[in-house]
Amino acid sequence: MYSKILVALDGSEYSLIGGAIALELAKNIGAEVIAAHIFDARLHSVRFREMESTLPSKYQDQNTLKELRDAHNDLIFEGFEALSKGYMEQFLEKARENGVFVSQIQKEGRNYIQLLQIAEDQNINLIVLGAHGLGNLNDGNTGSNMNRVVRLARCDVLIARRNPEKCTTIIGIDGSGEASGALRRAMVWSRTFGTSLHLVSAYDPFFHINVFKTMAYSLSPERQKEVGLIKQESLHEDIIDDGLGKLYREYLDLAYAKCKGMDVECHLLQGKAFRKIIDYGREVAADFIVLGRFGHHRNDISQIGSTSESVARLSQTNVLITGAASNHEQSSNEKTHVTIEWDDDAQARLDRIPHFARPMARQTIENCVLSKGGTKVTLADFQEIAQRFGMGSRKESGNE
């Protein structure tokens, strides 16, 4: 799963927690660990030069200024190098105790830029860093370096917050290829740290209810009739209240079938996905929350899905954001999307499902057809599976 793990050290409490987690993982899976401390000495040199004009007149002589600059630069670089050695020595001692070999990297520059560059240069599979650095204000905000690394990394990222207590690992399931890849990782983390594994699917029927309430309030009766508000609301109630719940339950069942021999629970939750996952994590004292970087609604300009980003920022426990499935092994669902065909009638029927549910409906239908050995989705397939999951349960005329 992971062959190289990069640990970001800065002497903070959270980086020490992250380091301990990385060593435990590496010891169990045989991964190589690279410990890095990044320091931005040039920033201090620039600041010193900006302050030179405010120094007393006796320091304004150019020779004196040069001596001050040189002394300041030497002090800053030597000080940071001493700090790096201190951070490394403490970490290396723990690594020796765990029987894990660690390579060291010390670099000058912007923290997140250098970490991402090291990850690229060293073919890192997992970056481990604290949720906060030494600048933590205890105001609920996560560190700026963490936020940038989570957004920009092309590998898995673990945000460390607390020492695991062998309780629970949560994995977010939404039927996407990324969630399938995240499940494989969650199973390894659960085994490594001796936790139970909870599969959680969260979907939000309340958002669309509020949309229709707003439309009913904002539109005149004539306009409501023109846009077919009542029919559309009835269709959404069928799909959201019944169909979406069945779809997500199917995703849980499929994921559960992959977890043979493990201590597993499944939970279907209603509400805003990130909030429900965070709240459930707090309820079960989760050691880890594992999420794919993206869900069903990925687009080309996104760096990370909104649910994963929100959980990474707001959770109170350790969060693992796994890279897109394309960065690891391709999931079976992704492979099937390349080969399976749809006939025209079935495609036309799929296109009538609201766009927010369409990707999930497509994947569920294709999975069912493939499980029976089929290679093409027909209208008969669609109608049979749609009835099973409550998609468009009203008569066709009621859906027009």
In whole angstroms, give the CA distance from residue 386 to residue 393: 8
Instruction: Give domain status of residue 76, yes or no.
Output: yes
DSSP conformation class of 299: -
Rounded to 5 degrees, what angle do the CA atoms 44, 49, 54 make?
Answer: 115
Can you read off the two tokens belonging to residue 33? Answer: 């660990």
Residues 6+ apart with CB under 8 A from 155: 119, 124, 125, 126, 127, 323, 327
Mean pLDDT value across residues 203-217? 63
Instruction: Give domain status of residue 279, yes or no.
Output: no
DSSP letters along 4-56, please?
A: EEEEE--SSHHHHHHHHHHHHHHHHHT-EEEEEEEE-HHHHHHHHHHHGGGS-
pLDDT digits (tens, 9 = 90+) for 363-400: 778 878 887 888 899 999 888 877 776 655 444 433 43
Burial class (CB in 10 A: 0-12, 13-18, 19+), 221: exposed
Instruction: Give domain status of residue 306, yes or no.
Output: no
Instruction: Give domain status of residue 120, yes or no.
Output: yes
Confidence of residue 337 (pLDDT cuts 50, 70, 90): very low
Mean pLDDT, the chain, whole residue set: 80
Whole-number pLDDT of residue 355: 66
Q: Say if CB 142 and CB 312 are below 8 A apart.
A: yes
Strands (E), the chain: 4-8, 32-39, 102-108, 126-130, 156-160, 168-172, 196-203, 264-270, 286-292, 318-322, 341-342, 376-377
In whole angstroms, give the CA distance from residue 368 to residue 366: 5
In degrees to the nearest 10, what's the CA dihedral of 105, 111, 117, 118?
20
Mean pLDDT value across residues 337-352? 80
pTM score of the predicted model: 0.75
Whole-number pLDDT of residue 372: 80
In percent, how much of the chain has pLDDT > 90? Answer: 44
Residue showing tokens 């650095």: 133
In whole angstroms, give the CA distance from residue 98 to residue 85: 20
Whole-number pLDDT of residue 152: 94
Instruction: Give domain status of residue 236, yes or no.
Output: no
**Domain housing 129:** 1-159
pLDDT digits (tens, 9 = 90+) for 93-141: 899 998 999 999 988 888 899 999 999 999 999 999 999 865 555 656 6
pLDDT digits (tens, 9 = 90+) for 345-355: 989 888 877 66
Mean pLDDT value across residues 186-212? 85
Backbone dihedral angles phi then psi of residue 106, each to the nearest 5 degrees:
-125, 125
Instruction: Give domain status of residue 141, yes or no.
Output: yes
Confidence of residue 328 (pLDDT cuts 50, 70, 90): very low
| Helix/strand/coil percentages in the chain, nearest 5 | 55, 15, 30
Instruction: Give domain status of residue 134, yes or no.
Output: yes
Residue 28's CATH number: 3.40.50.620
Number of domains in the chain: 1
Bridge partners of 208, per DSSP, are none
Q: What's the half-sphere exposure (Cβ side, CA atoms, 13 Å) at 389? A: 25
Which of 52-56, 106-110, 296-300 is the most confident on average? 106-110
Confidence of residue 318 (pLDDT cuts 50, 70, 90): very high
Instruction: Give domain status of residue 315, yes or no.
Output: no
Higher per-residue confidence, 137 vs 158: 158
Residues 6+ apart with CB under 8 A from 123: 3, 4
Whole-number pLDDT of residue 394: 43
Task: Supply the angle between the helices 358-371 and 332-339 in degrees, to the nearest 10.
Answer: 90
CA distances for 392 relative to 22, 41, 111, 247, angstroms: 48, 62, 51, 13
Length of the chain counted residue by residue: 400
Pick from 9-18, 31-40, 58-67, 276-285: least confident = 58-67
